[in-house]
Amino acid sequence: MKTYLVTGGLGFIGSNFIRHILDKREEITVINVDKITYAANPGNIPNGVKNYRFYKTDIADNVGLSKVFDENDVDYVINFAAESHVDRSIMTPGIFIKTNVDGTANLLELSLKHNVKRFLQISTDEVYGSLGSTGKFSETTPLAPRSPYSASKAAADMLVMSFFHTYDMPVLISRCSNNYGPYQFPEKLIPLAIINALHEKDIPLYGDGRNVRDWIYVADHVAGISLILEKGKPGETYNIGGDSELENIDIINHILDRLNGSHSLIKYVKDRPGHDRRYAMDFSKIASKMGFSPKYGIDKGIEYTVNWYLKNENWWKEILSGDYREYYKKMYEYR
């Protein structure tokens, strides 16, 4: 048996990762540490699953996190826990520094103390900054983050690497592009567009709507993470991408077509400050060294995602009835 300590496992990608592991890998026990912020949903992990233990703990809380390490023999740490939404980082940067930087530092220190065999930091393409109309980010692209969110993730990446060089700790970093799929919190573009279209409500599109993201279906990201955990070399960074570059306007049109929604719902609104223009990932390293390739193209991925939101209304309706309403008003009312 092996024990994975997964942080942020009640959020979007972390819960997709945990369900995948518990489903496919009976030899692995998962310890899930999550603070349960607005972005978490305890229902994302089914009740009564085997080989699973949950701790409601903040990764920045040294006492709380020490207890988790003391009570479990942890082999691998996979750090998903983060404040993850760029727009929120513009409104309230402090909590991003607290969780993404201080929290990662705390997790690193305890992982070192407890001699974990692998520490995987789940990072993002946003640490590389913004591209013009050509070129791609590779693992050697210098870090040039431009939002409080991406700056906090870049700081965390640097701390992670410092533990490799200073303490010879077996750390790895994965940097992935924009994920979409089941269980994504509705503040992010794709679920927001699906849910607004279903309600025949305006879909806010920032600026000229032509910013480009490289979209990856979450199952492909999870598959890449599993490969890195098994085959990655300590001290190395691996890019993961979806090979699906699209302008925001195209992704919204695609969703509206699938739902037979009216394109008049698209509403151009004031741009996000410091809005990164384009992301594109060169993921040839993980492709050549580990055989990674994304299995879901954008058509299949969007089809599965739209169907999931259609079938799981209870999941997102509960979110819409809570604090999210206040957030939405603050973010979009006067935009």
Which residues form the catalytic set? 125-126, 149
Among 260, 276, 254, 294, residue whose Cα is nearest residue 206:
276
Name residues contacting ligand DAU, limited to 198-217 (CB under 6 A): 204-206, 211, 213
- Is there binding between residue 301 and ligand DAU (CB under 6 A)? no
- Nearest approach in angstroms of CB 104 to ligand NAD is 9
Q: Which amino acid is at 241?
A: G
The neighbour count for residue 282, using CB atoms within 10 Å, is 15
Name residues contacting ligand NAD, limited to 69-128 (CB under 6 A): 80-84, 99, 103, 122, 124
- Is there binding between residue 197 and ligand DAU (CB under 6 A)? no
Q: How far is CA 146 from CA 21, 152, 171, 196, 259, in A?
A: 34, 10, 25, 29, 34
Q: How far apart are CA 134 and CA 148, in angstroms?
A: 25
- Is there binding between residue 213 and ligand NAD (CB under 6 A)? no
- Nearest approach in angstroms of CB 73 to ligand DAU is 31
CB within 8 Å of 313: residues ≥ 6 apart: none
Contact mark string toward ligand DAU, 269..298, x via CB under 6 A:
---x------x-------------------
Residue closer to ligand NAD, measured from CB, 18 or 265: 18
Q: Which amino acid is at 77?
A: V
Q: How far apart are CA 199 and CA 318, in angstroms?
A: 15
- Nearest approach in angstroms of CB 21 to ligand DAU is 21
Residues constituting the chain = 335
Backbone φ, ψ for residue 289 (5° rounding)? -85, -30
Helix (H) or strand (E) holding 268: strand 266-269
- Is there binding between residue 156 and ligand DAU (CB under 6 A)? no
Name residues contacting ligand NAD, limited to 27-46 (CB under 6 A): 33-37, 39-40
Q: Which residues bind ligand NAD (CB under 6 A)?
A: 7-8, 10-14, 33-37, 39-40, 58-60, 80-84, 99, 103, 122, 124, 153, 176, 178-179, 185
Q: Which residues bind ligand DAU (CB under 6 A)?
A: 84-86, 124-126, 177-178, 188-189, 192, 204-206, 211, 213, 248, 272, 279
